[in-house]
Amino acid sequence: MPNMALNKVKMPEQNPDIRNKNFKEVSLGYDEAMAVEEAQRCLNCKHKPCVAGCPVNVKIPEFIQLVADGKFEEAYYKIRETNSLPAVCGRVCPQETQCEQLCVRAKKGESVGIGRLERFVADWYMANCKTDEARPRSNGIKVAVVGSGPSGLTCAGDLAKLGYEVTIFEAFHVPGGVLMYGIPEFRLPKALVQKEIQTVKNLGVNIQTNMVIGKVLTIDDLKAEGYKAVFIGSGAGLPSFMSIPGENLNGVYSANEFLTRINLMSAYKFPDTDTPVFVGRNVAVVGGGNVAMDAARSAKRLGAENVYIVYRRSEAEMPARLEEVHHAKEEGIILKVLTNPKQILGTEDGWVKGMECVEMELGEPDKSGRRRPVEKKGSEHIIDLETVIMSIGQSPNPLISSTTPGLDIQSWGGIIVEEETGATSKSGVYAGGDAVTGAATVILAMGAGKKAAEAIDRYIKGE
């Protein structure tokens, strides 16, 4: 019998006043009984609208039915048929605007907790099963993947399953891309990311770190070394700034640098680690996306007393996930919406002391369909601060495009590709993820890696 409860089984979480002082995971996950109870809310509908909402087409009703039957290991293998990073996706996917938005149960009450169930299955498998999937037989054909973030890992895993000899070239000293340097420990534990990467390595994928493509080797060098195709999944690591006075003061970070120091270089454990990170008593994060929430919540955990999110539109327009905004507010983050920075003010010795802002009101809709923020005359005011974190987006690093003749790019730096295949203007070179779209979601990058793997297979076979 399906469970007709209108609401999802509640997710256990750390208390906000405790978790805002530690970097342990906020959401604690379902136990077996909770997972079975939630899985029984799925109606197993004939049309499976949820699957169409998933960029990697996870067989959602099928894996959920297996959970409802208590067959957790089989459920894991069902997810893994199309998704190589289930423990990651269960935590960081915006399910509420994808699979869960299309869930029939959402018409009356809450959707099935698809993301929570995916996370449960992956965690249960890691805790209870020994991973020894058979390594596919090699076809001897070499393919190169640039970048070991979500798109690169997905593309590499899918190609390895087809028998290709895949080498990933990663610029940093640790694989994982944005999963390691961008998303904080309290949302996505790093040990778990490395376990997911190990399952990709178990398929025979070779990962070379400290390999900056465009510096150590170029795309053309890779092709000359016998790689029959190259996938570029190098992400969007170039931060944007506002070009306002005072952005070069000490105490101003890009969200990229701030989060990379904390996440990849464990600055939150300083002085037990080598990387320090300066956080004053009062911190402002400029922006309203998930990255802004991550930076603000990290600053709070590092001891800041007042952390402000300064965003020029209203809370309703914030691009961050609702869950992220909700968690941030619970943890004491102060939202200063309809507010825009004019300049950052400094001390005589070059450190941040405040930020002059102006209040905004929403005017007519712009091209994006969102109402455009307009300054309120005479509403200038100063917020006292020691730290300012700019989180207003990032674009692809120009290193690869500037060293790859014949690779067409957008005016803002994104690589131009055929939407269905990820093929670039250069024969045998494919691209996907944030290097193409600019900063977007983990799952969209994975979807792009998946499409490109299929296209590379067809290209090499001459189809």
CA distance 383 to 74: 54
Residue 225 pLDDT: 97
Residue 463 pLDDT: 83
Residue 132 pLDDT: 67
Residue 271 pLDDT: 86
Mean local confidence (pLDDT), 21-30? 95
Q: Tell me the pairing of strands 252-254 and 371-375.
A: unpaired
Residue 3 pLDDT: 87
Say which range, 82-91, 262-271, 307-316, has the weakest mean pLDDT: 262-271
pLDDT digits (tens, 9 = 90+) for 257-281: 999 999 999 888 888 889 889 999 9
> Which CATH number is correct for 16-128, 3.20.20.10, 1.10.1060.10, 3.40.50.1240, 1.10.3260.10?
1.10.1060.10
Collapsed DSSP state (helix, strand, coil) of residue 356: strand
Mean local confidence (pLDDT), 67-76? 96
Element (H, E) at 220: helix 219-224
Give me the chain's average pLDDT, please: 94
Residue 324 pLDDT: 94
Same CATH topology for 16-128 and 142-237+396-461: the answer is: no
Architecture of domain 240-393: 3-Layer(bba) Sandwich (3.50)
Mean local confidence (pLDDT), 335-345? 98
Residue 367 pLDDT: 84
Residue 381 pLDDT: 97
Residue 404 pLDDT: 96
Is the pLDDT at 181 greater than 80? The verdict is: yes
pTM of the model: 0.93
Nearest to 45 by CA among 64, 72, 70: 64
Decide if 202 contacts 134 (C-beta within 8 A): no
Mean local confidence (pLDDT), 315-320? 92
Is the pLDDT at 134 greater than 80? The verdict is: no
**Within 13 Å and on the Cβ side, how many CA atoms surround 277?**
33
> Which CATH number is correct for 142-237+396-461, 1.10.1370.30, 3.50.50.60, 3.40.50.1000, 3.40.1190.10?
3.50.50.60
Domain ranges of the chain: 16-128, 142-237+396-461, 240-393
